[in-house]
Copies of this chain bind each other. A is one copy, B any other.
Amino acid sequence: MSLPRRVTLVEVGPREGFQFEGIGQPDRIATADKIRLIDMLAETGLPALQIVSFVSPKQVPQMADAEAICAGLNRRPEVAYNGIYLNDAGLKRAIAAGVLDIRGKVTLAMSETFALRNQKRTLAEDYEMQRRIAALYKAHGIAVDYGATMAAFGCNFEGPVAVERVVGFVQKLHDIAAEAGDRLATVNLADTMGWADPELVRRVVGAVRHRWPELRIALHLHDTRGLAIANVYAALLEGVDLFDTAVGGLGGCPFAGHKGAAGNVCTEEVVFLCRQLGIETGVDLERLVEAARFAERIVGHPLPSKLLAASLHPQPAVASAA
């Protein structure tokens, strides 16, 4: 396997970040600032943005402005905007928002404890919910072609995940698509709680690809324990060319059980890595860094991005002697 020539990045920083940063402080980031950040990201060359979650405003009040954000976007036609939802009610809201590029995405959590915390249902109930969501897509003429797993590399509550279990869940996602008369084109493997390591990424990607050689693999990697960029490199070595990333390293899962942890793998660091490796992303790194600086300003604290702290174009130091 050689490195891909081109990689597609899906920016999830707004959705992940607004959700995580607003815990206990739902009004901390003004809706107008959220929109401004999304608009800035849309001008970087990023092809797709995950901007909001359609979840219960009672449970996640910091996402109560999801519709207001959608309504306020300065929408660019070349960018795909999307949101997430955990049930059919959420999907209905996403469709009703009217401006999103809804994909036929079904998602299965792989840990029961995590599913009970995050989705508020058992794995069996989660499977049934995804069937309902698939039926709802079909009713709206949307093909069910994108499968996703959560906690595919390990779980803070249930520990490591066997590679065979991942393959089993990807099969379940295939089954849901097949029942809807469709076929998965892409499967997203999410390291929701930061359990992946580079060799595990290669084993899991290898096993899924071995079974379904035509399936495009996407990775959603959290940087909880500092290995995310190494995991990206490992995935690139396996030819993976689709990643979820978050500007500034925003994000973190509110139900993963570790407060204060780092968020998703940082978009600008992945873009920088790709640039150094000669892999195209189509992203303007300078504009992206500007967006990251704005993100840092509106969340009100330093983000995990190291590239951001270093500055892109180093200036000779004013520093004294040694």
Indicate if A59 sits at the interface (CB-CB under 8 A). yes
Q: Is B309 within 8 A of A261, CB to CB? A: yes
A269 to B198, CA, bound (A): 13
Q: In the complex where A233-B198, A310-B224 touch, is A157 in contact with B316 (Cβ < 8 A)?
A: yes
Is A95 an interface position by the 8 A CB rule? no
The answer to whether A314 and B59 touch (CB under 8 A), given A223-B306, A306-B224, is: no
A304 CB-CB contact with B under 8 Å: yes
Instruction: With CB as the reference atom, state the residue of chain B lying closest to A194.
Output: B310
A-B contact pairs, 7 of them (CB 8 A): A200-B276, A223-B306, A225-B269, A226-B229, A226-B307, A227-B273, A230-B230
Please determine whether B322 and A257 come into contact, CB atoms closer than 8 angstroms.
Answer: no
Q: Is A294 part of the binding interface, using a Cβ–Cβ cutoff of 8 Å?
A: no
A166 at the interface (CB under 8 A from B): no
| A259 CB → nearest B CB, Å | 7
Contact residues of A between 306 and 322, Cβ < 8 Å to B: 306-307, 309-311, 314-317, 319-322
Q: Does A305 contact B (CB under 8 A)?
A: yes
| Residues of chain B within 8 A of A3, CB atoms compared | 199
- By beta carbon, the residue of chain B nearest A60 is B322
User: Interface readout for A1-40 with B: 1 if CB under 8 Å, 0 if not?
Assistant: 0010000000000000000000100000000000000000
In the complex the two chains form, what is the Cα distance from A304 to B254 in whole Å?
A: 21
Q: Which B-chain residue is minimally distant from A269 (CB atoms)? A: B226
When distances are taken between beta carbons in the complex, the residues of chain B under 8 Å from A316 are 113, 156-157, 257
Bound complex: CA of A233 vs CA of B198, how far in Å? 8
Whether A141 is near chain B, meaning CB under 8 Å from some CB there, is no
Cβ-based interface call for A258 (8 A): yes
State in angstroms the CA–CA spacing of A230 and B255 once bound together: 28
Please tell me if A74 contacts chain B, counting CB pairs below 8 Å.
no
Q: Which of B259, B277, B309, B315 contacts A260 (CB 8 A)?
A: B309
Please determine whether A317 and B229 come into contact, CB atoms closer than 8 angstroms: no
CA of A319 to CA of B23 in the docked complex: distance in angstroms? 10
Tell me if A218 counts as interface (CB < 8 A to partner B). Answer: no
Beta-carbon nearest neighbor of A305 in chain B: B226
Asked if A262 is at the interface of the complex by the 8 Å CB criterion, the answer is yes
Contacting residues, chain B, for A229 (C-beta < 8 A):
226-227, 229-230
**Does any Cβ of B come within 8 Å of A79's Cβ?**
no
Contact of A258 among B272, B277, B314 (CB under 8 A): B314
